[in-house]
Amino acid sequence: MEVNNHTFFPYLLFRTGIDDKKMAAAVMVRVAFDIADGIATPSDKQDWPLQAGPWESPYGMMDGDFIFKRGGVDLFVFGSARTPNNIPAKKMDVRVWMQGKMDYKITIFGDRIWESGFSGLRISDPKPFTEMPLTLANAYGGVTDWDQLKFPYANNKYGKGFIWRKENAAGTALPNIEDPKNLINKWNNRPNPVGVCNAPMNERRIRKAAEFDEEGNLIKLDHLFYNSAFPELIVDQVSEGDEIFVDGVTGSGIFKFKVPDKKLFVDLTFSDKTDRRSLTIDQIGLEPDKKRGFITYRYSFNYYINPMTKRIINILND
């Protein structure tokens, strides 16, 4: 299949066989934007790539984009939590919301450890901070020692706070990022990690997208399985003009992003027939520290294999 990209944005083509005569395909384009006062304009620097497989971004691991379709729109916030006016604090919240669509909050603590005392284990007082990276490394998880082996927490091996044996608790760091509705208060609490970056593939993501029978056999797999955001940050649809607000990431107020009226199309030519289709949004990533962001657009379709016929995709923008 011939692909002609008439934009200056990176693209990726996904294709896979359905049967001997039918294929599934998806065209995706990722556009990096500069953001000023909430208004987004395409950046001269298109440095958010589309990758087939998992890859290491400046903010940690990102899932690959080589998939047919997502079950909703992923929302990401990359960078750091920042205290108001750069005044040191022991604790703060980061909130992400879209009017009428979602409202999500996480609590950020300064560095803490489990301490031993006369009354047993207790959590140390958080150290004051002015910024805290919003990465999986600061969420609950990590690796602990068990029977002289390194034992990772299955739901987030990158994090901190995971303890298997009580005698190993003293001196262990707690996570900086927690769910305000489920704060850790015991050494053997093992909460699901929370955050605003790319979520790790774990039990929670699988259970949200999959259904199993009584014998544990998979009977249904929703397209949500291929979403990469934390479940609370997946919305059904995002349209031009929608606004996303983030509090706790600038040190000087609320970061705002208005989804731009950006049109991307594909002209699909099979044999002598050409159809134009619009790409729709399936990911939004925001970088408040840099006043930048990206949007991933996608069009998924099926087609039949007819040998010796012309198959051309032209990617266009407004």
- The pLDDT score that the predictor gives to residue 317 is 92
Q: How far apart are CA 179 and CA 48, in angstroms?
A: 29
Instruction: Label residue 212 by pLDDT band (50, 70, 90).
Output: confident
| Closest C-alpha to 30, from 96, 95, 74, 79 | 74
- Biggest CA-to-CA distance, the chain: 82
- The pLDDT score that the predictor gives to residue 109 is 98
Structure-model confidence comparison of residues 97 and 213, the more confident one = 97
CA distances from 18 to 26, 61, 137, 203 (A): 13, 30, 39, 28
Contacts of 214 (CB under 8 A, 6+ apart): none
Query: What would the DSSP string read from start to end of 138-164?
Result: GSEE-EEEETTEEEE-TT-TTSEE--S
Give the pairing type, strands 140-141 and 160-161.
Answer: parallel
Looking at residue 180, the DSSP 8-state letter turns out to be: T
Lowest model confidence (mean pLDDT) among 111-115, 143-147, 162-166, 311-315:
143-147
Residue 115 has pLDDT above 90, yes or no: yes
* Mean pLDDT, residues 77-97: 98
Q: How far apart are CA 209 and CA 198, in angstroms?
A: 16
Residue 205 burial (CB count, 10 A): 22
Contacts of 176 (CB under 8 A, 6+ apart): 108, 109, 110, 111, 132, 138, 139, 160
CA distances from 110 to 24, 83, 128, 182, 199 (A): 47, 11, 6, 17, 22
Q: How far apart are CA 283 and CA 300, in angstroms?
A: 14
- The pLDDT score that the predictor gives to residue 204 is 80
CA distances from 214 to 90, 202, 217, 219 (A): 46, 21, 7, 10
- Number of residues that this document lists for the chain: 318
Q: How far apart are CA 231 and CA 212, in angstroms?
A: 19
Q: What number of H helices and E strands is found in the chain?
A: 1, 28
CB 48 within 8 Å of CB 294? yes
Instruction: Label residue 220 by pLDDT band (50, 70, 90).
Output: confident
Output the pTM of the full model: 0.94
| Closest C-alpha to 86, from 249, 308, 243 | 249
CB 67 within 8 Å of CB 14? yes
Residue 15 has pLDDT above 90, yes or no: yes
Spans of all domains in the chain: 2-78+199-317, 84-178
Residue 305 has pLDDT above 90, yes or no: no
